[in-house]
Each structure stands twice: as structure tokens, then as C-alpha cells.
């Protein structure tokens, strides 16, 4: 896959799931950023494994509501990053021929560690108005 094709593929995966807002998992008095950190810590290893399994089967294993929400955030970041790589004109980020599973794992696991997770945490740390049920904003 090219980076553009991968972005489109991950976008379709993201559209196929229905995440709950991060705020739905908040404890009483817990800030959204703290809820995000807690969910990330609780689901990190299992989602890393789910991504590895997905790259082999192209089917997601059964996931909990927390895992689905965090997968949605990983997919969102992966879609944007793959799109950015697809428009790079310098050739610094070539498509890895016949290595789709490695590209998916890199986007959803490794690039999520940095800069994906810190970037998303900053979104939750900023003071925002209520945006409804958008899991990217709650």
C-alpha cells in the first residue's frame, strides 16, 4: 500500500467502529486528561497486541468499550500521519513495498507512543467548551 492508500484504509477502519467519548469513562471529579492517561495505560498492551493480530488477519479481535475508544484515537492519529507522509514531496518517507503489516504496526503502535499519545493528551489537557459526544474532543 502507498501511504495514501493506508490512510484511506485506516479511515475505513475508524468509520467502522463506534467509540464512546473518553468522558464516559471518567471517575467523579477526574479531569479529561487524567481519564485519557488512565485509559491509555489500561489498554496499551492489549491494543498493541490487537493491532499485531489485525495486521495478520485484517479483522479486529473482540474489544472492550475502553479499547474501542482508544483504538479510535490511535486510528485517528494514524490516518492523519499516513496522509501527511503521502503528500511529502522530498521522498524521505517512501512506501515500504509488500510491508503493509509493518506500516500499520508502525502507525498504530510505534508512532502512537510518540508523537501520537503526547499530541492527543495535549488535546485533552487544554481547556475546551463542551463539544458533545465527539470522542476526540471529550
Domain assignment present for residue 13? The answer is yes
Tens digit of each residue's pLDDT, the chain (138 residues): 888 999 999 999 999 999 999 999 999 999 999 999 999 999 999 999 999 999 999 999 999 999 999 999 999 999 999 998 888 877 767 677 778 888 899 899 999 988 888 888 888 887 554 444 455 544
Domain assignment present for residue 131? The answer is no
Number of domains observed in the structure of the chain: 1
What is the residue range of 67's domain?
A: 3-125
Domain assignment present for residue 138? The answer is no
Domain assignment present for residue 135? The answer is no
Domain assignment present for residue 96? The answer is yes
Q: What angle is formed at CA 35 by the lines to CA 134 and CA 55, rounded to 5 degrees?
A: 70
Per the CB < 8 A criterion, the answer to whether 21 and 135 are in contact is yes
Q: Which residues contact 131 (CB under 8 A, 6 or more apart)?
A: 137, 138
Per the CB < 8 A criterion, the answer to whether 69 and 20 are in contact is yes
Domain assignment present for residue 62? The answer is yes
pLDDT for the residue 94: 67
Amino acid at each position: 500500500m502507498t501511504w495514501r492508500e493506508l490512510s484511506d484504509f485506516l479511515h475505513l477502519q475508524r468509520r467502522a467502529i463506534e467509540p464512546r467519548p473518553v468522558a464516559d469513562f471518567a471517575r467523579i471529579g477526574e479531569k479529561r486528561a487524567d481519564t485519557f492517561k488512565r485509559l491509555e495505560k489500561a489498554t496499551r498492551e492489549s491494543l498493541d497486541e490487537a493491532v499485531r493480530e489485525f495486521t495478520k488477519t485484517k479483522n479486529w479481535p473482540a474489544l472492550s468499550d475502553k479499547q474501542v475508544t482508544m483504538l479510535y484515537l490511535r486510528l485517528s492519529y494514524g490516518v492523519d500521519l499516513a496522509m501527511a507522509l503521502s503528500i511529502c514531496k522530498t521522498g524521505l518517507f517512501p512506501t515500504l513495498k509488500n510491508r503493509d503489516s509493518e506500516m500499520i504496526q508502525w502507525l498504530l503502535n510505534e508512532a502512537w507512543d510518540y508523537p501520537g499519545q503526547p499530541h492527543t493528551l495535549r488535546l485533552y489537557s487544554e481547556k475546551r467548551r463542551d463539544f458533545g459526544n465527539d470522542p476526540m474532543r471529550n
